[in-house]
Structure 1
């Protein structure tokens, strides 16, 4: 497994990327729905899928 050579630099870069994402104007973006996986929706949208996927992976490494 690869490791992050400079965790502080990585954290700063990640923080900058997330801040840039927050600045994106979504006013004219599509409304949440099945067509875009419920953008901005609650994580409960995927709870059933996640449970089924975890059950299917049970015992795997």
Structure 2
């Protein structure tokens, strides 16, 4: 199992667009994931609205 972190702002999630820009995804499966809380927090401060959440997600690899 691996833990990754995503940034949730309101009902949407930060994601990376094909051109590399930061965008918003409607579904968690489209969200950008980060390997550390610190990395997710840094991106959140740079690109998300105040009051956003850093959410830990456990991924099963099999």
- Give TM-score, length-normalised by structure 1: 0.23
- Give TM-score, length-normalised by structure 2: 0.23
Q: Which has the larger radius of gyration?
A: 1
**Greater share of residues in helix:** 1
